[in-house]
Structure 1
Amino acid sequence: MVPERTGSHTGEHEITEPLLQGDRDTCPTGDDSPIEQVSLTVPVTDDPSLPSFTFRTWILGTLACALLSFLNQFFWYRREPLSMTAISAQIAVVPVGHLMAATVTERVFMKGTRWEFTLNPGKFNVKEHVLITIFANSGAASVYAIHFVSIVKVFYKREISLLLGWLVVLGTHLLGLSWAGVFRRYLVEPAAMWWPQNLVQVSLFRVLHENEERPKGGLTRNQFFLVTFVCSFAYYVFPGHLFPMLTSLSWICWMFPTSIIAQQLGSGLRGLGVGVVGFDWSTVCAYLGTPLASPWFATANVAAGFVIFIYLLTPFSYWLNIYKARRFPIFSDDLFTSNGQKYNISSIVDSNFHLDLEAYQREGPLYFSINFAMTYGFAFACLAATLVHVLLFHGSEILQLSKSAFQEKKIDIHTKLMRKYYKQVPEWWFVCILLFTITTIMFMCVNYEDQLQLPWWGVILACAIAMLFTLPIGVIKATTNQAPALNVLTEYIIGYIYPGYPIANILFKVFGNGSVKQGISFLEDFKLGHYMKIPPRAMFTAQIFGTTISALVHSVTAWWLMNTIPNICDRELLPPGSSWTCPSDHVFYDASVIMGLIGPRRIFGDLGHYSAINWFFLAGAIVPIIVWLAHKAFPNKQWIRLVNIPVILTGVAQMPPATPVNYTSWVLVGFASGFVAYRYNRGWWSRHNYVLSGGLDAGLAFMGVLLYICLGMQQINLNWWGSDPDGCPLASCPTAHGIEECPLY
């Protein structure tokens, strides 16, 4: 059981009931985490005698990882991807774990030897549960490297074997694990690196393993979670099937059904989303994660970036007709010719799968919507801002850690307990994995040059970029719950060095950016284990096996879908209303054309017409300096330090495929939780905020699966006014004169 803690909102508390049976260690008052959210949520005691890596851990962890990997990959190709988080498995394994504890034999095998073991070490405990969840985390998110397989096989229709695709995916995962191991001393042990997202799972572990008395007139956390779960489960039948328009209530479009401009402004899915809101939890957290885990200052930064981008920069650029913007939709991920028609990409690819320059000159330059163009600008600015921000605001701390590891005053009780009781994983383990993985990937690129296109030196360059950026991105993710991406930087660099090879471009991006994303995910798991006092070597074993299983299941599932669903991802050939439109893969494919096939020099360089967007690099480097100087000039204005330029800029990095309704809904919920509830009802927030997030996630996930099994697989769909998730058919039309009339009208 986890202690129930009470006290003031400053983080001081007292232990009112014991944590676990057996030996324990606790912290004295004042030795807890300096982060208030952590102090209010994470237990400060430990029982090192509890077994963690048991027979139950192996069986349930493997099953959870495989099932989540299958479901997430299955739903990833759909128009509205459903993300099954590890919270679903975290809840589902509890009754199974208790059942195994009650029924499996307690016999001790090989008794009296060093290999002595039992299949049933006793009561199902929280440490087993945490390790099972970490297994599940390996399959609880989309696998970035699967984009590579999808683009090669479906969009470019090139041959690639299942084995080679799996090796690319596994190699990306192992690179990520290596980055996590190398940088864990900077991003896991320091108390300031608190990883907000983990507090949702920590709260849920407390709910599932503690005994709590019901407060007078209220609910225990178990009861609150159950109520939330049932309500979320029952409600999702409406946006999930009966009334999809709840996804995006674009009321301006209803008022002006024949106005292109009004629908461009009001559409939440294909326009600017003015006044739009979505009453669908999957809309709220589809691309930005749960807003209930985001600290308010980070939510406010994301909101500021969204407002600047979608309500100022995009409409002004569109109506000023910058880059012929009015010839194209205001919000689109398609690629166009100069006259507003869809670009025929296959016509500019030669027989060697390289850019045909004569055909490209004949077809004319490539254009894209102003929203897509400005997204690249913000991405350029974010790259420069990330390095400058971390250097200015965290540089001295990182330098100090590099010189003297950790001083005792820099760490909290959680790090002290982990150091006291458990052996750390030697750093050379991770270095060996890194060297082996890089060598294997280089061997693959040399021996499968016709399929992968990437030369051996490209692997080294991609890994160098990943190593350089993992630390600054990790600092931002660990403190704000937002992570800048390297996708644009990696594709930009290799596009200049090695233009005309789209497969090489996306593979370089997978190793450079995808491995960092995986590394951040592993670091988040490291911190979860740190909070819950899991032996680091057991964590390491779970992550190695979990990532291997996840890579295999994701690859096989993707392969199966691509070979069994006719015209998957092809919007032109799919039947009307089909869900298999692959929105994220379309954006990935567009990037491979822009940066790989045609190359950044012909788009953003001296041969292109988008060259002015490169000024965003300079702007991104300057603005953090201005904020830092303002903080130094006005040290008493603490709000200045909370202005985080990388978070402001990376806030819109998910657009497209994310749409304005995802952002407006996310910000509103984040404001209600992180500002209103946290400031004015701290007691409710500390008890229920993260439990609420877990219940909403779990209810949505289980109903989503049930709807697909019962209705989706039978092709049972409703067809009425509320079936359109947006209701803005004119939002995708251009407004320039002389462009072909919108095909819908």
Structure 2
Amino acid sequence: MAENGLNHKNSENENSPIEQVALTVPITDDPTLPVLTFRMWVLGTISCVLLSFVNQFFWYRAEPLSISSISAQIAVVPLGRLMASTITKRVFFKGKRSEFTLNPGPFNIKEHVLITIFANSGAGSVYAIHIVSAVRLFYKREMTFLVSLFVVLTTQVLGFGWAGIFRRYLVEPASMWWPGNLVQVALFRALHEKEERPKGGVTRNQFFLIAIISSFAYYVFPGYLFQMLTSLSWICWIFPHSILAQQLGSGMSGLGIGAVGVDWSTISAYLGSPLASPWFATANVAVGFFLIMYVLAPIGYWFNIYKAKTFPIFSGGLFNSSGQDYNISSIINSNFNLDVKAYDRNGPLYLSTFFAMTYGVGFASLTATVVHVLLFHGSDIWKLSKSAFKERKMDVHTRLMSKYKQVPEWWFICILIVNIAATVFICEYFNDQLQLKWWGVMLACAISIFFTLPIGIISATTNQQPGLNIITEYIIGYLYPGRPVANICFKTYGYISMTQAITFVADFKLGHYMKIPPRSMFMAQVVGTLISAIVYLGTAWWLMESVPNICNKALLPPDSPWTCPMDRVFFSASVIWGLIGPRRIFGNLGFYNNVNWFFLAGAIAPLLVWLAHKAFPSKKWIPLINMPILIGATGMMPPATAVNFTSWIIVGFLSGFVVYRYRRDMWQRHNYVLSGALDAGSAFIAVLLYLCLQFQGKSLAWWGNNYDGCPLASCPTEKGIIIDGCPAFS
């Protein structure tokens, strides 16, 4: 079990039983440090607003850039210290209950942690913006700003209710170690702890400065001067006129054999930092990616399963029987529902075989998650449930946190009740815009609550997160077909409220590691979430109004960055599951009905691993096979591409296996600090390049900026199918 970071010593007085945690997280605490300071509120609010604006601004671009809270974590240090040295130390209302000061002393690590958690609210994305984009930009229908704001706020806050309920399962146990948090813990320590420089080496702070400057300088090449570094698909260069070679070698439109990206944004774009992934999880992703991308996908394509050769080998597009883009607007009636007669005239909608298989993998990943958690974690969940209100053994971090006043569970329950009531009201009152009924809201919440615990356990132990987007679309698509907006609203309430709950729980664990008072955490999370939701929507609305033809590739100039790849996939899903409905695609009326067998395959797979573990208990590697992660490895494809995975796996292998096994001292000192530096350096220079050059329309036109360099990879290979830009087959 060494790869998993587990050892079998578990005394109350020693460090965490998770080796990576023991090597990274301090086991001391200073409860006298001020937390809710004036500096925290000012810097936290500014960080949250800036990250929310920048992330939404880049979200619509051809190469979306997600700037993590690590950038804010670094940037606020000099600002915090500047405020500590310049702001008055005067105490107001001295001796009274309302006594306060704007400057309680040196800028400390706890207020820094809280600023970062505040900023983290603006560091991801607000999924509900996809609803607004789909309705206004793709379907060309009305959705008012007020309705959009209500949807955004309720989807962002809803999961907070059951996040608090699941704290005892996902935060307090030492086995729920949340690997991604260790990057930030290591960075906090590097920025605040004084360290003597080792002989012949550098301190962690010095290493961080070297790494962030190097990352900042290097990103000029993949970000502007030599963009082909994003995907070095060398097979395409050798065979510039071969469709087959480019299908095999393209990292962005094909199978990505041999393709690699030497660009940190490519490596970490969809799977997060490979430096934060434990090796056993990286290995599961690698095996799953190999089986799906290099075994199932080629078999499906070259055996022409589901007319695969009529369409690109890798695409998230929607096609008619002749391989052309499907005319979606022609099958929508005046009530914004499916026009069945028009659909029958146009013929069925087709997907690339890889895209159809991706949905099957999503089915399998879901059932695998439930069965895996029941088999491998069921007894632990049962024990925790029985001991929830009894005194139980605590690890060192839970024991240190027990001195602080906890957030009462009824606070979370109140948030949950108020949000559900508000959501039901919004969907019923504005039903002409949202289409979703009250029972749909209740069902979405029930699905989300049910899956939060099993998916939370997977996230807390592997740093990977299976999604509920496919199963939520599937369920509402059968129950309420022909209504695309109802489908995407149901998906968002069912999927994102679970994702938000897990994000909140992960922040709880970061506060747990850094010994932040829980009530201070609660306040920062709630306020940060509300601010970020408003800024995200405001930014998106401004871009929709100010950028002509945003997201419309047919009307945009060829070099326009505003092509919205993420929103396009979301729109495609709304057509598949909402407008046309799963019955006409994956059901008895559909062409892809055999894909449903993936549900059964996903349920059986963890059972086989569990039986193997029981039959061979001495084989410690067997329980490290995590079927939800292995099966769901390609869940982000598309829009993620092969090069994102191949590059991520290579870096994850070097860090999690080679360095961790053979240079443990180097891994302990530098691994997580390097991850933070690469994130921050790339983010800072990407924003700078855009504002100074790309925003001004200054670009370099040469072959090195041709991204993939594989134009034929998206061509069909069926004879008689003619697509613009592709050779004709006779």
Identical aligned residues as a percent = 68
- Report whether the alignment pairs 1:659 with 2:648: no
Matched, 1:302 2:274: no
Q: 1:224 and 1:717 mapped to 2: Cα distance?
A: 33
| Deviation, structure 1 residue 743 | 2.3
> Do the aligned partners of 1:12 and 1:29 also contact (CA within 8 Å) in 2?
no
Equivalent residue for 2:111, pick from 118, 121, 128? 128
Show CA shifts across 1:205-229 (max 9, x none): 0011010000000010000000000
Instruction: Give the gaps of 5 or more residues in structure 2.
Output: none
Q: Which amino acid aligns with 2:41?
A: W
**How many residues are paired up?**
723
1:620 is aligned to 2:602 = yes
Mapped partners of 1:695, 1:312: distance in 2:
36
Alpha-carbon distance, 1:742 to partner = 4.2
Distance apart, 1:173 and its partner CA = 1.4
SS in 2 for 1:713: helix
1-structure distance, mates of 2:131, 2:14:
47
1:713 aligns with 2:695: yes
| Structure 2 residue matching 1:638: 3-state secondary structure | coil
| Deviation of the 1:411 alpha carbon | 2.9
Measured in 2, the distance between the counterparts of 1:509 and 1:12 equals 41
Equivalent in 542, 567, 586 of residue 549 of structure 2: 567
TM-score (norm 1): 0.96
Residue 200 of structure 2 aligns with which residue? 217
Is the counterpart of residue 40 in structure 1 residue 23 in structure 2?
A: yes
SS in 2 for 1:651: helix
* 1:579-658 mapped onto 2 (5 Å cutoff): 579-658=561-640
Aligned equivalents of 2:191, 2:79: Cα separation in 1: 13
Equivalent residue, structure 2, for 1:468:
450
Distance in 2, Cα, partners of 1:732 & 1:91: 41
Cα deviation, 1:225-280, whole Å, max 9, x if unaligned, reads 00000000000000000000000000000011001011000000000000110000
- Pairs within 5 Å for 1:62-461: 62-405=45-388, 410-419=393-402, 421-461=403-443
Q: Which residue of 2 aligns with 1:22?
A: none
Residue number in structure 2 paired with 1:679: 661
Q: Deviations over 1:552-600 (max 9, x none)?
A: 0000000011111111111211111211111111111011000000000
| Residues 1:732 and 2:701 aligned together | no
Structure 2 length normalisation: TM-score?
0.98
3-state SS of paired residue (1:192): coil
Instruction: Give deviations 1:162-189, integer Å, cap 9, x for gaps.
Output: 1211211110111121121111110001
Indicate which of 532, 538, 549 corresponds to 1:550. Answer: 532
Aligned partner of 1:570: which letter? N
d(CA) in 1 for partners of 2:307, 2:216 = 46
The one-letter code sitting in structure 2 at the alignment partner of 1:567 is N
Change (3 A) 1:677 1:406: farther
Q: Classify the secondary structure of the residue corresponding to 1:605.
A: coil
Q: Provide closer, same or farther for how the CA distance between residues 88 and 361 of structure 1 changes in structure 2, counting only shifts above 3 A.
A: same
3-state DSSP of counterpart to 1:124: coil
Write the letter of the residue equivalent to 1:518.
Q
What is the CA distance between 1:405 and its match in structure 2?
A: 2.0
Q: Is the 8 A contact 1:181 1:430 kept in 2?
A: yes
Residue 161 of structure 1 deviates from its aligned partner by 1.5
Q: Structure 1 residues 29, 516: CA separation in 2 closer, same or farther (over 3 Å shift)?
A: closer
Confirm or deny: 8 A CA contact 2:197 2:203 kept in the other structure: yes
AA at the equivalent of 1:90: Q
- Residue 513 (structure 1) aligned with residue 491 (structure 2): no
Deviation for aligned residue 1:623 = 0.8
2:287 is matched by which residue type in structure 1?
A
Could you tell me how far apart the structure 2 residues matched to 1:411 and 1:680 are? 32
Q: Which one-letter code corresponds to 1:721 in the other structure?
A: W
Aligned counterparts of 1:558 and 1:300: Cα–Cα separation in 2: 37
Q: Which moved more, 1:400-409 or 1:421-430?
A: 400-409
Unmatched tracts of structure 1, length 5 or more: 1-8, 14-26
What is the CA–CA distance in structure 1 between the aligned matches of 2:389 and 2:709, rounded to whole Å? 56
Q: Deviations over 1:680-721 (max 9, x none)?
A: 000000000000001111100110011001101101011111
Q: Which runs of 4+ in 1 moved over 3 A?
A: 9-13, 27-30, 406-410
Partner secondary structure for residue 288 of structure 1: coil
* Partners of 2:316 and 2:351 within 8 A in 1: yes
In angstroms, what is the RMSD of aligned CA positions? 1.5
Instruction: Quickly say closer, same or farther: Cα 1:273–1:455, change in 2 above 3 A.
Output: same
**Do 1:333 and 1:369's aligned partners in 2 also have CA atoms closer than 8 Å?**
yes
Secondary structure of 1:731's partner?
helix
Distance 1:676 1:240, change over 3 A: same
Mapped to 2, the partners of 1:179 and 1:569 lie a distance apart of 35
Secondary structure, counterpart of 1:549 in structure 2: helix
Q: How far apart, in 2, do the equivalents of 1:328 and 1:152 lie? A: 27
